[in-house]
Every structure is written in structure tokens, then in C-alpha cells.
Amino acid sequence: MKREERLEYSKNRIETAYKTVDAAKLLAENGFWNSAINRLYYAVFYAVNALLVVNEIYPQSHSGMKSQYSQHFIKTGRMDIKYGKLLAQLYDWRQKGDYENMYDYDSESVKPLFEPVLEMISEIEKEIKNAL
């Protein structure tokens, strides 16, 4: 991918991340907690993916995305460890909510995630701008 293509791709992914948080809010407001977790995970996934692509890192899977993000941004101190932990939590919770039929989240577990997810996306957006 050429630099201009990576930048355009990342811009679109960040926009999608914010829209996906909005979708999660609508789901949460209507009590669809597992679906809200799914959307929060994907919001972070889109943002992390944008960051990786800008830096010419192209993971092939969700677990690859997690490990590449950790290797290049968390372990190096470019991004706060709390964002690595948030990504790992959302990944695990999405897996449980999507694939374990008897697992249900509630407002107490989901609502506190909105602020850190938005903060993480914002920090990733800053990191992308710094990479330019």
C-alpha cells in the first residue's frame, strides 16, 4: 500500500471507529449489552488497525492485531499499557458475549467502558498524526 492509500485507509478506519462507538451507545441504551461489547471491541479494533496500517504493519487475524499492537506500541511505550489491557479485555469479553450462549453482560460492566474506549481511539488518532 502506498503512503497516501495508508493515510486514507486509516482516516476511514478512525471514522468507522467513532461511528461504531455511537452504535454501541444505541445498543446499550436499549439493553443489548453483549452487542454493545461487540461494537466497543470493533471500535477499538478499527482504530488499532488504522494505527498498524499507517505504520506498514498488516496483521492477518484479530490475535495478530493484538500481538502486533502490543509489540510495536505497548511494549515500546509509545502507547500506555492501559490501552493494551483494554484491548485484551474487550477481545475476551467479545468472544464470551458472542460465542458463549449463557454469558450476559449488564449496564454495570458495559457503561464504564465507553469513556476509556473513546480515550483510546483519540490517543490512537494522535499517534497516527504523529506518524505522519
Burial of 32 (0-12, 13-18, 19+ CB in 10 A): middle
Whole-number pLDDT of residue 3:
87
Whole-number pLDDT of residue 102:
76
Q: In 3D, which of 93, 68, 69, 92 has the Cα closest to residue 81?
A: 69
Beta strands in the chain (DSSP E): none
> For residues 72 and 87, what is the distance between their CA atoms, to the nearest angstrom?
14
Kindly state the percentage of the chain with pLDDT values over 70: 99
Domains located in the chain, CATH noted = 3-131 (1.20.120.330)
pLDDT tens, residue by residue, 41-94 = 999 999 999 999 999 999 999 999 999 999 999 999 999 999 999 999 999 999
pTM of the predicted protein model: 0.94
Averaged pLDDT score across all residues of the chain: 94
Whole-number pLDDT of residue 103:
81
Which one-letter DSSP state was computed for residue 30? T
Phi/psi at 15 (5° precision):
-60, -45
